[in-house]
Structure 1
């Protein structure tokens, strides 16, 4: 199978997100743009949403190729009548899942119903020229002038400036960001989504890529043309506070951490302004946390996790989540130590017939609770051995013996006998 060209993959993701914004109004969605439009059903729904008119009678459960082609024809006839220019794109191309022609169809639809809808027919410019000129005018007060919609946006500086230009004060420190293009773009896209209603149709990683797709960028950036701050938007923020300049690092984030062992990481907000850092931990248990601060220095976060598992730490600066948050701390079990396992309530006598019970406490023995129990009698092993995990590495074992004599109870923790194992018990009738 031939490799997919990078621009095809990026454009596909962008167009899928754009299509789903509109299909949501019909409680529909696409997962794979090329596959999910082939029967024409969702394409017809998309066209009806955009044109606010019926395409005609849709076969919603097409079984045959002819029915799928008829659905697609309904959609194409409708948008053609509405002024969409289609070049060498027919129903057969969509039904066969032709990647590039399907992308071409969706791009023609985006041009008509989003980009050209903003521009109108008055300028005489191409959509690309008009959008680039609009961005230049918007960014001119900030002494920025993009020359394209691709490479000039890779460094993560233009988008934060645009967000602040559309809603002055929403991103006040756009001009003093750290050297983290992806992180800065993530912050800007988050603000644009939350307060301007601009859907992140392209990922921060794709925008920061030198080979970023121009049509994907046009689709995303054209949303800013009609964007307005929502009620309650935190505009007019004080300059000097910028969550994008907070840096997080340290051994707790870079290597596995042993359970019940002290570890640490650092939060450097010294370049983010005079603000407050807040933390929220999620995971299998609440860790013990000690925050150590000195003026003008990174905060040291010292923690001890009581249980193994993944702990996610959400980090906010002045109420805004920083780039790359949440960070993850991976806590692993202690190395197993069978000598710390305690066996209780076993022997020296066990009853023949009724259920016998004893307990195993491995809460201080480390490992992942790999417990083995074998009970052998004079001629027969014990019958019906049941082991139940009670939580926190504690177990209960139930068993039945059916003959008199001495039984050996083998209890192993991760393959090693625990203290006292094998235990000798005598089976007898009460």
Structure 2
């Protein structure tokens, strides 16, 4: 089939390449000319799609990338994988709406449009469907439409796109059949649900569950530190229970596109539709959003105990990505920690072997490599993202003091560094 994947980021590119490998003729559409230029030369910027894999589908002719909307004409399947950010706490569907209008210009009877972008329940039928009908002049029964939430987990080798079960839905039976058939050819398992609203809620439920439980252990870590109890040891002990417990670990905050944003979509929808607050989400947002502040407070206290001020201290942050062994720095708590420390007058340096491109960080942050000399020159080292590529033995050998926010150094028996756990 002729497939269009609109949006070639962390979600769209893996989907587009997988569809091309399955034998479809795929056009990756993106409004960013720099991205399209990179893709056209076979250079991938998404870790889950190595450049050799991208070049293979380019050379086979099953995949191409473009910024030209007129090249989308004649599609059988179009998938929307564009960003859905929050603007001042309100869902911003600008990209979804613009993409729907672009696809509607080329919509023909029998074609299928699938929304994958994370959003609130009702978006597919209340926002996308009217745009497609009005712009194309077709009735909703003339084409197929549904929602299938993305479940991309960057850097997860155990659960790549094709192995992760895919929830699918349609606005009617014919739409569900078409969408299920498409994804059946791409993934090992599809999970049909009764409506797009259920599929939309499924995605938000998954991430709200994670968000709330991470907030629980984050608050517990704060309280346990004051109580003098090792929360990490308690979590490990609780994890030995084979039922009724799922392990979540504390950290310096949450990042990526999902956890800082998706639960707020659900909270906003509940408030807008029912006039009620979603208290669990609001509390989790508050706890997780302020974990970078807590990290800084711990550093201020640690320096004070050493008769040092934050102002003028040299602080090395290890890890700028939000997740270990990935280059994804979207909404990373590391950038907030850096900003807070810089505002206090510290000399802040950041090391991350995975994040090589420019990120949305304070321009005062100095990018460095975590060499032995760099570690030794720091007054404080903060492990924010526990990449396996960091040399932890060297860190412990040369760092005078380490605040370990990931419990990564507990089993490294090298060096005499003063280690403090989050």
Question: With structure 2 as the length reference, what TM-score do the two structures score?
Answer: 0.24
| More strand per residue | 1
